[in-house]
C-alpha cells in the first residue's frame, strides 16, 4: 500500500504504554496533515505492527485511542479509515463557570464569540458548565476536547479531575492555582471584570479563537499545554517583552501576535 505512514521511529524497544502513545502521535499527525477532504484508508494492523516493530495488542490499543478521538473508524472486512477534513468529528469545548458572571461582560463575551468562530465550522459548540468536573457524567466528559476554566470559584480538585479525565484546559483570571493559563497585559486584565468596557473586543475575540484552536489540537495529538500570553497595542496584539514571575514554572510561555486584519468574523 502506498501511504504516508512509513517515516516512523523504531518503537520496538519502548515500553508498551510509550509505544502506544508513539503510534497514536505519529498517526494523528499524519491524519491531521493529510489534505484529503474525503475519508481515506490507513495501513492494516499487520502493516502497522511491521512498520512500528510492536505487538498487535499495542497497535489495537492505539487504534482504539484514535477511534475514541473521532479520527478513524473501522469497517468489518474492509479495513480502517481516517476521516477526511469534511467528515472529521470534533468534540466540543467546555467553559467551566462555577460562579455566575454577567452576560454583559464584554471581554468574556468576546472570548466566547472567538471560540465559537472556530468551533462552528467544525460542527461543534462551546458549552457553558456550572458544576464541578467531579460531578460530570461520563456522557458530558466524552463530549469535550478541552475546557476553559474561569478562575473564580475553581479549585485544585477541579483541575485534578480534568487531568484525570485527560482533558486539556486553560485557566482564565487571577488565581494561584497551578496550570496553563491565558495571560493578558495589565491594560486588558484591568478591563476584564468591567462590564462597561468598550473598544477592546478585537483582542479578546482573537484570544478566544486561538484558545479554541489550541485546546482542539492539544486533545487530538496530546501536545503539552503552554501558557498563552497576549498584549494589546493601539494597532495590534503584541507579545509581552517580559513575563511576570507569577507564571507557573511547569508551563512554557507562548507569545501571540495577531493583527486584527487577520481575523475572520463570523
The yes-or-no verdict on residue 105 having pLDDT over 90 is no
> Per-residue confidence at 257, pLDDT binned at 50, 70, 90?
very low
Please give the pLDDT value at position 194: 56
The yes-or-no verdict on residue 239 having pLDDT over 60 is no
Please give the pLDDT value at position 258: 34
> Per-residue confidence at 12, pLDDT binned at 50, 70, 90?
very low
The yes-or-no verdict on residue 254 having pLDDT over 80 is no
Of 52, 56, 30, 55, nearest to 42 by C-alpha is 30
Please give the pLDDT value at position 234: 41
CATH of region 92-262, choose from 3.40.50.1820, 1.20.58.220, 3.30.565.10, 3.40.50.2300: 3.40.50.2300
pLDDT average, residue stretch 197-222: 77
> Per-residue confidence at 36, pLDDT binned at 50, 70, 90?
confident
Per the model's pLDDT, the better-predicted residue between 244 and 57 turns out to be 57
Please give the pLDDT value at position 68: 81
Question: What does the domain layout of the chain look like in residue ranges?
Answer: 16-82, 92-262
Please give the pLDDT value at position 21: 85
Please state the pTM of the whole predicted model: 0.64
Please give the pLDDT value at position 217: 80
Query: What single DSSP character describes residue 236?
Result: S
CA distance 61 to 112: 35
Contact status, residue 207 vs residue 228, Cβ threshold 8 Å:
yes
Please give the pLDDT value at position 114: 92
Written as nine digits, the cell of 56 is: 498487535
Written as nine digits, the cell of 121 is: 465550522
- At residue 155, the 3 state secondary structure works out as coil
Written as nine digits, the cell of 91 is: 468534540
Please give the pLDDT value at position 104: 60
Which range is least confidently modeled, 50-64, 135-149, 247-261?
247-261
Give 60-83 pLDDT, tens digit per residue.
999 998 888 778 899 888 899 998
Please give the pLDDT value at position 187: 53
Of 241, 245, 237, 225, nearest to 188 by C-alpha is 237
Contact status, residue 38 vs residue 86, Cβ threshold 8 Å:
yes
Strand partners, 150: 172
Mean residue pLDDT across the chain: 75
Which range is least confidently modeled, 79-88, 114-123, 178-187?
178-187
3-state helix, strand, coil in the chain (%, to 5): 40, 15, 45
What's the CATH code, domain 16-82? 1.10.10.10
Of 197, 261, 203, 200, nearest to 228 by C-alpha is 203
92-96 and 144-150 beta bridge pairing: parallel
Amino acid at each position: 500500500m502506498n501511504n504516508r505512514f512509513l517515516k516512523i521511529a523504531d518503537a520496538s524497544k519502548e515500553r508498551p504504554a510509550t509505544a502506544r502513545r508513539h503510534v497514536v502521535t505519529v498517526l494523528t499527525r499524519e491524519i491531521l496533515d493529510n489534505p484529503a477532504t474525503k475519508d481515506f484508508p490507513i495501513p492494516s494492523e499487520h502493516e502497522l505492527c511491521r512498520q512500528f516493530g510492536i505487538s498487535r495488542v499495542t497497535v489495537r490499543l492505539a487504534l482504539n485511542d484514535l477511534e475514541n478521538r473521532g479520527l478513524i473508524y473501522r469497517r468489518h472486512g474492509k479495513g480502517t479509515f481516517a476521516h477526511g477534513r469534511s467528515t472529521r468529528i470534533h468534540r466540543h469545548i467546555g467553559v467551566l463557570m462555577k460562579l455566575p458572571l454577567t452576560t454583559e461582560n464584554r471581554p468574556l463575551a468576546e472570548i466566547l464569540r472567538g471560540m465559537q468562530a472556530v468551533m462552528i465550522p467544525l460542527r461543534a459548540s462551546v458549552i457553558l458548565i456550572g458544576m464541578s468536573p467531579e460531578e460530570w457524567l461520563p456522557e458530558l466528559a466524552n463530549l469535550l476536547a478541552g475546557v476553559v476554566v474561569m478562575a473564580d470559584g475553581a479549585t485544585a480538585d477541579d483541575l485534578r479531575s480534568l487531568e484525570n479525565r485527560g482533558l486539556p484546559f486553560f485557566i482564565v483570571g487571577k488565581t494561584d492555582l497551578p496550570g496553563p493559563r491565558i495571560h493578558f497585559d495589565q491594560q486588558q486584565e484591568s478591563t476584564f471584570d468591567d462590564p462597561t468596557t468598550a473598544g477592546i473586543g478585537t483582542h479578546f475575540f482573537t484570544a478566544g479563537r486561538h484558545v479554541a484552536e489550541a485546546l482542539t489540537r492539544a486533545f487530538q495529538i496530546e501536545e503539552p499545554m503552554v501558557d498563552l500570553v497576549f498584549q494589546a497595542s493601539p494597532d495590534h496584539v503584541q507579545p509581552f517583552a517580559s513575563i511576570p514571575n507569577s507564571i507557573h514554572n511547569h508551563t512554557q510561555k507562548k507569545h501571540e501576535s495577531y493583527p486584527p486584519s487577520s481575523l475572520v468574523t463570523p
